[in-house]
Amino acid sequence: MIAAHFYRKLAGSGRAGGRLRRALGRNFALLAMLIGALGSTVLRPRTLTACRSSSAFFVSTGVSSIRRWQSAVPGRAYPPRPTQAKAVAVPAAAETDNTVVSRLPSTLADIYALSEQELCGFLQDTLHQPKYRAKQVHAWLYQRGAASFEEMSDLPKSLRLGLAEHFKLGCLEVAFEQVSKDGTVKRAYRLADGQLIEAVLMPYEDGRRTACISSQAGCAMGCVFCQTGQMGFARQLTESEIFEQALLFSRDLTKGGERLSNVVFMGEGEPLNNRRQVFGAVRRLNADLGIGARHITVSTVGLAPRIRDLADAVDDPEGEGALLSQIKVAVSLHATRDAERTAIMPVNRRFPIAELMAACQYYVQRTNRRLSFEWALISGQNDSPQVANELGRLLSPLKGKCHVNVINVNPTTGFEGQPGSKAAMDRFLNILNEDWGIPATMRVRRGLDINAGCGQLKNELLGRELSTKGLAATPPRSPEASSE
């Protein structure tokens, strides 16, 4: 928007203006890239949000953004027609029952990356369609579950062809899929740069259909009991990459007459270390898929300043705070003493338990919302009656405003800890519920027969690729590499 505004103001009108516009047009992509990079690093987030909302085509980093900026140059198509490309087969686990999709390089823009306003602007300015067509296309994409433009049967054929010439439906590619006997679906998605991420769809007997999605490729937090934490951090996911994970599950459910009811950010990554993209995805889950804020849960390892930021969202009731102050927050705790927590969760060195609990109390006081605490039960480490009593004492200041989800730890290749016994689980829950009055429940485990725990499928897939000399895994960064 900034570059386009500069272009129009500088170029002016008339013959001289026309010559200048043509000259600028040849270098407009570079100009947009420079200004876009400056905006993403210098401008305040609120400023960028305002810029985006006031323009039909806003700047974001990457090649697709350059194409959007080029649309401001008179006479230039948006985006350019795709060039022919040969399919490159992915040699990942092709011999198993799970099909690996071929990869097809493409210059098509991702239609899911457009807001409804941007889509409307493109349809009017480039395809010369009436304004109401944007609502029709939007409904097909997000409510009616279209998997192709051809399925949009009430649109003119010329419009469907025009959309197919310029756009693709998403950028996630199913590299692997497993279906559990309990109905849980786990997928490994390959991104455009070859990175893998995981997402899980969990059906429950009470009718809930919950998607567990990733916010980063890998994770920098280094939790020793987590398979993803053992892999390290690769990169942040974009808003559309995060949103599309839930959208694809929603689309599949729509085909079967069901709907996606809940989303939890408990896949790969630390959501609050990528909060701008995560919060953007939260807005789209609410606006485009109709998922209520109270049915969206953001999990965190305990980044105390970020928890306080979420609490302060109540200060913006007319803006995004109205939504963010209503989402659920889950804090991964897993230990009651700093020494034990630091041993399994390195983040505790930076934000020890006392600081974390102070931030949690601040959140509850400001939002009047209940917090959830996640507790992975590890046999012989944090499943004793003594630890249960310590946890009850630690959470007593939040009594009435907190809940504990207890789940047996998932065994992983890099962690020797084992799940607690049923007797230990029952005793632990009873102490919290009966002795301390802290609501605690055992979280239902799903997909046990397909290793549905975070990072397990990805680890298996990467191992197969390496063993067959296929795509190499990207070397993980150190835990300190993660930065928003």
* Strands 371-377, 328-332: pairing kind: parallel
User: What pLDDT shows up at residue 414?
Assistant: 75
Q: How does 18-43 read in b/e, with b if 16+ C-beta sit within 10 Å?
A: eeebeebbeebbebbbebbeebeeee
The pLDDT, as a whole number, for residue 444 is: 76
Question: What's the one-letter identity of residue 167?
Answer: F
> pLDDT-derived band of residue 43, with 50, 70 and 90 as boundaries?
very low
Distance (Å, rounded) from C-alpha 374 to C-alpha 34? 43
| pLDDT exceeds 50 at position 175 | yes
Q: Which residue has the higher pLDDT, 302 or 4?
A: 302
Calculate mean pLDDT across residues 183-194: 93
Cα–Cα nearest to 97, from 19, 167, 2, 177: 177
Backbone angles phi, psi at 202, to 5 degrees: -120, 115
Q: Which of 118, 198, 244, 268 is catalytic?
A: 198
CA–CA distance, 35 with 382 (Å, rounded to integer)? 51
Reference 325, options 315, 335, 337, 336; nearest CA is 315
Average pLDDT over residues 333-338: 97
pLDDT digits (tens, 9 = 90+) for 87-122: 323 333 333 333 333 344 457 999 999 988 999 999
pLDDT tier at 464 (50, 70, 90 boundaries)?
low
Q: What is the pLDDT of residue 462?
A: 54
Please state the domain extents for the chain: 1-76, 90-169, 187-481
Tell how strand 185-190 and strand 196-203 pair up: antiparallel
Of residues 198 and 56, the one with the higher pLDDT is: 198
Position 118 scores a pLDDT of 94
- CA distances (Å), origin 238, targets 27, 221, 265, 278, 393: 27, 19, 14, 8, 40
Residues 207-253: tens digit of each pLDDT? 999 999 999 999 999 998 888 777 889 999 999 999 999 999 999 99
Region 355-371: mean pLDDT is 97
Q: Percentage of the chain surpassing pLDDT 70?
A: 70
Residue predicted with more confidence, 16 or 100? 16
Q: Could you confirm whether 219 is annotated as catalytic?
A: no
Least confident of 9-18, 132-141, 164-173: 9-18
CATH topology of domain 187-481: TIM Barrel (3.20.20)
Marked catalytic residue, from 212, 226, 402, 454: 454
* 134-143, 176-185, 361-370, 388-397: range with lowest mean pLDDT: 176-185
Which tops the pLDDT comparison, 281 or 232? 281
Strand partners, 174: 189
Tell me the average pLDDT of the chain.
Answer: 79
pLDDT value for 392: 98
Kindly tell me if the per-residue pLDDT of 476 is higher than 50.
Answer: no
Residue scoring higher pLDDT (183 or 480): 183
pTM comes to: 0.73
Known catalytic membership, residue 173: no
Higher-confidence residue: 220 or 59?
Answer: 220
CATH class of 90-169: mainly alpha
CA pair distance 186, 268, nearest whole angstrom:
13
- As a whole-number percent, the residues of the chain with pLDDT over 90 amount to 61
Give the distance, in angstroms, between the CA of residue 156 and the centroid of all CA atoms in the same chain: 34
What's the pLDDT tens digit per position in 76-85? Answer: 333 433 333 3
Q: Which of 95-99, 268-272, 274-278 has the lowest mean pLDDT?
A: 95-99
Q: What tens digit of pLDDT does each residue of 421-435 get?
A: 999 999 999 999 999
Asked whether residue 463 carries a pLDDT value surpassing 90, the answer given is no
